[in-house]
Every structure is written in C-alpha cells, then in structure tokens.
Chain A
Amino acid sequence: MTLYTSRQIGLNGRHGGMIAPVIAVGGCDLHGPQSALSPAGVGAEQISSLFWWMAGGAVLIWAVVIGIALYATLARPRKKHDVQGARWLIIGGGIVFPTVVLTILLSYGLMLIPKLRSTGNVDLHVAVSGEMWWWRVRYTSPAGEPVELANEIRLPVGKRVSLSLTSPDVIHSFWVPSLSGKVDMIPGRENTLILEPTKPGTYRGVCAEYCGASHAFMAFRVVVMEPQDFEAWLTHQAQPAVSSGSPSARQGEQAFLVNGCGACHTIRGTAADGRVGPDLTHVGSRLSLGAGMLPNDAQTFARWIGHTQQIKPEVRMPSFGMLPEEQLTALATYLSGLK
C-alpha cells in the first residue's frame, strides 16, 4: 500500500472546495505499514495470533457443518440414523462443543489483558491528545523538560511505552494496527495504552472513531527506532527551531509572525507561541503534513497554507490563499527548512 494516497486537489477555489480523492487502495496487502496482520509490537503479535487461531477454527467448524449438510442432502445414507444418536450429535455439536470452545477463547482473551495493560516496567511516558483533526504529542526531554510535538510519534524499539490518551473536544480513538489494539480518547478522561514495539520501521496510525468532517484525514506516522537514535532524535526535537537563514527563509519567518500564524502555532525560539494548532518547531523534519495527509516538502507546504480548507474539510485553520505567491513560497521555504 502506498503511504500517500494520490489525490487531485482543486487548486482554484472555484470548485467550491471539492476534492476528488483518487485513493490508491492497496487491496489486501498483509505487509503494509498499517496491517494488524504484520505485527511489529507485542500487543499486535498477540492479536494477530489470536486472529489466526480463530480464523483457522472458524474454517474448520465451517467445513464440518457444510460437510454434515452435504452428507444429509447428497449422500442420502441408505440406513436411517437413529433418533437417539442424532440427538446426541445436536447436543454435542450444538451446545457442548461451542460452549467449550467459547470458554477457552474467552479465558485466553481475558488472560492476555492483565499483561498487556500492566503499567509496570514502563520505560517511557508519552502523552497524546486527539484534537479535531490532528494529534498533539508530549514527550519529556532527556533533560526532564516537556517537549510538545505533533502528528508523529517516535518510539525506541524493545521498550515498554505508556501512552496517556486524552481529547479536548470529541471522542477519538488511537490506533496503530501494526503495534497494538486501539484505545478511545474520551474528553474528560485519561486512558492508558501500553505499546511495546519489537521491529524498527515506519507504521501508520489512524483515528478509529468517527469525529467529524476530516476524521478520515486524521492519521499519523509512528517511527520505531534504535534506542540511541531515538535519544538523539528527542534531544534534537527538544531544541528550539533552527532556520537556514537564507533570505527566503528569513522572509518566511517574518511572514509567519506578521500574518498571525503565531496565534495558533508555536515555533520555539521565535515569538510564535500559539497553542491552538500543531507545534511547528521542527515541522520540516516530519514525514507528513496535515496529520498524515500530504508528503512533507516545500511544494506541499505552499499548497497546504494556500488551500487549507480545500485540502482538509472544515479544518480549524483558515486558508491563506490571499497572501501573495511570493510570501507563500517564503513561508514554505522557511517551514520546510525547520528540520
């Protein structure tokens, strides 16, 4: 499956903000970045083995039932079966067998829960808040300072991570199928999800609870890294923004502050300290833009800033298409350069 769905975006507002998503669906790709069947975390491994056992059992039961049906209708046994035997077949196959199987499955499922949910031995705490329609992510830096990031989660491989999940607006649900099951983010409540990634790689997470117009565009990447790479990454993310300082980037920084972007966005190290939208301090280093919607390059920055409303229905950021082309380009250069 391709990470970025290819979609044509009506670039002139005349199409009434219509977007025509041409989504390249990868069919049944078991090894995609968002597949519960190619697990890369302890939770997902247990879920997928449970799935395969249940699928196998279901196929077996189906075959037996269909086999008996075919026997009864096609084979037409010459000798009638006696009523007593048939009754025991019904009691055995229709009551005892399913009860035993369901009891085993239920006990197995219940047995998994305490270990999966235990908050003991946690190496890392991350707070994630689902907001219409993006993800606010809070780490604690190696120096003990809170670091706010957005729309991307990086985790050290082999470590147990506790995510505290909240929402300030409506119910969302946090789901990274490759790593674990999903947990709802409920306003006024703090839910916990334990992740234990086992394979380095880049996975896709989504909101799994309908939350409004752009629910389907509320995704994020999870990058599982070697622990020392993770430390380096987090240390870097904790730093203030570093701009390239080129004339265009400097013009972009000016445009950012002058046009009021800073009322909603923070760029650490500048005067912009808004808290409404995602932190943009290192936005250029992320793998995607607009909560998993667009690839991250200067071109898509310009498109996002100029056509926000057309790209993402009802998004809580105004389009800045009225800005002169040159300012949009400068903003794009500046922001994409914030690595």
Chain B
Amino acid sequence: MRIALFVTCLMDQFRPEAAEATVSVLEHCGCEVVFDPRQTCCGQPAFNAGLHQEAIPVCRGAVRVLDDQITRGGCDAIVTPSGSCAAMFRHAIGLLDGEDAAAAKRVAEATHELSEFLVRRLQRIDVGASWPGRVAWHDACHGLRELGIKSEPRRLLEAVDGLDLVESSTCDRCCGFGGTFSVNLPGVSTGMADDKIDELETLGIDAIVSGDASCLMQLEGRLEARGSRIRGVHLAEILAAREPLTRANS
C-alpha cells in the first residue's frame, strides 16, 4: 500500500524523531511511504482562531498537495500522526470552495490517524516494538471525539514488549493546549494540564503517551516546569522502538 504522509507542522520542526518513527512503523508494516515536501500546515491554528482569511490559503495548500498524491501520485491513503490534523481536513470541506472543497472531501476520506490506520485499515496490532517502561495513554480530544479513536492506541501499546500500560482516570480530559487558547488564557490552560498531571503523578509512570505532538508539547512543558520525572512520548516513537528489555528482564 502506498501512503502519503502528512507530517504535522509542529512535529516536522520540533519532533522529527516522531515523524521518522511513523515512517518506520508504516514501512515495517509493508507500506511504501511518500512525503511531499510542498506540504506545510493544515491551517487549523488560524481556523480555530476564527481567522478564515488566514486559514484558507494554508489549508488549501495542504489539501492540494495531498489530493495530488491520491489522485495522481498513486497513493492509496493519507496517514498523519495527529488526530487533530486529520480532523481539520473534515473542516476543510466546509471552509474551501468549489474544486478545492471536492478535493478536501477526497483528502478527508483518505486521511487516517496513525493508530486508526494500523488497527482498522491494516489490522495490525503487534508491530514488533519493545519499550521497557510504565506508561499511561492520553486521549487527544480530536482523535477521541471527532474520529472516535479510543481502543486502537491502547491495543497497539498493550502489544509492545516490556511495556506496562496503566489507565488514568483523567485520560480523556483535555490537556489544555487548544492552540491560541494556550497563550490567550495561559492560567486556565496550565490549570487544565495540572488537573491531569496531579493524577498522573500518582500512577508511578515513566511516560505519558499521546498521538498528538501538540498535546505532548503542552504536557511536557508543564511537567518540566513542575519538575516532574514523567516525560512525554509520541505513540509512533514507542511503536518504532526496539529497545532491549533490560529492566523488564532483570
């Protein structure tokens, strides 16, 4: 299967390992991955701020590049390691006009968030990963509530060698990022992160795992400011890991 990869702008610039891990996992599962470097951002930050004039050209750019890959580039699907960007392409249908709206519809239908793609489309649970450590999963809001992703990442994580997945009772609460919200109302935003972190601290975990780089930036930023030992890890980073199970075996 030939996959067009949409790397989120934040991940491209600030978490390249997660993007590379996404590619490794997909290739491990037998996919051929292409990355069209004309892509930049899905346009969501401006769209969520209500600034359609600013969002439209950026969103249109991403839609055209991806549509090109599925209509002419021979790609069977689009995969993105972010539920948030995947959800944005659905909004793009209403945001764009004419042929671009039609392209947005094709793109939205072809787009899958990584865990959803692996489990639902490829029916792969075990991707050969090993990662020793205790983790909890954070359900990113758009993945959970707009795409209905809940069991997929958990099943993938449970199949990872050496990994101990614990459920957090606040797993589905927002981390407080919310794009411009995080800088417009910083106190509310970090308070929301604290609501989760207070509980995470009681679970004895090494890392909080999420499928969105933006949630991770928020949670890690707050965890570090609080002096916590918990770190943030992207799902793809774990699925691509082949770490020796020294701790789990000892």
A and B held together in a complex: no
Give residues in B with beta carbon < 8 Å to A.
none
Give residues in A with beta carbon < 8 Å to B.
none
